[in-house]
Amino acid sequence: MIKAILIFNNHGKPRLSKFYEHYSEDTEQQIIRETFHLVSKRDENVCNFLEGGMLIGGSDNKLIYRHYATLYFVFCVDSSESELGILDLIQVFVETLDKCFENVCELDLIFHVDKVHNILAEMVMGGMVLETNMNEIITQVDAQNKMEKSEAGIAGAPARAVSAVKNMNLPEIPRNINIGDISIKVPNLPSFK
């Protein structure tokens, strides 16, 4: 079973956290910190598995992770999951995000939290793998978007118009907002090529 899915950047800022077991909010934050601590100190080219931290269940659990440019994708799983299978699942997740966002980067995860959660929900449910077929996942996501658009078309029109106007006047659209120490745009992730 997958206990938790965490995404954080190279500085340990959480970008997505999804827990499939209940922990208190404080514990969740501790788990994120502990996991970041464990994962971030590892070199590149070492293996993608390590024993879980104490908080998330100790030696029966594994952390399986991949590091893409500025982001770590970490799955905390118990012994009933295949390590390589989960590694592939992370790849499918990232490739799906990449297709949905067109060259996904860290900012997409920040500004579209809801979408990322939806995509993840199409793949993993209650800690179990729901769907692994990328086309199927994208079909579902597309269908949702269509529904959203059609609803927005009727009821949301005024709000969207206002938003569009505001966007026009906005000299810096989100993608170019000054975000300090973080690189703004990740060019194409090397692992997709």
Residues numbered 81-140 forming contacts with another protein, rule: CB under 8 A = 82-85, 87-89, 91-92, 99-102, 108, 110-115, 117-118, 121, 125-136, 138, 140
Residue 174 binds another protein (CB under 8 A): yes
The radius of gyration of the chain's CA atoms, rounded to the nearest angstrom, is 18
> Which amino acid would we find at residue 23?
Y
Residue 61 binds another protein (CB under 8 A): no
Candidate residues 37, 153, 163, 185; the one interacting with another protein per rule CB under 8 A: 163
Q: Using the minimum distance from each CB to another protein, give the nearer residue, 25 or 187.
A: 25
The two structure tokens encoding residue 36 = 């970041």
Query: What is the distance between the terminal CA atoms of the chain, rounded to a whole angstrom?
Result: 30
Candidate residues 177, 183, 184, 188; the one interacting with another protein per rule CB under 8 A: 177
> Within 13 Å, how many C-alpha atoms sit on residue 1's CB side?
10
Instruction: Tell me how far apart the alpha carbons of residues 63 and 35 are, in angstroms, rounded to a whole number.
Output: 8
Output the smallest distance, CB 73 to another protein, in A. 15
Residue 9 binds another protein (CB under 8 A): no
3-class secondary-structure state, position 177:
coil
Please give the torsion angle defined by the CA atoms of residues 23, 25, 26 and 28, in that order, rounded to the nearest 10 degrees: 60
Output the smallest distance, CB 32 to another protein, in A. 8
Output the smallest distance, CB 90 to another protein, in A. 10
Contact in structure between 123 and 132 (CB atoms under 8 Å):
yes
Residue 54 binds another protein (CB under 8 A): yes
Candidate residues 11, 37, 60, 153; the one interacting with another protein per rule CB under 8 A: 60
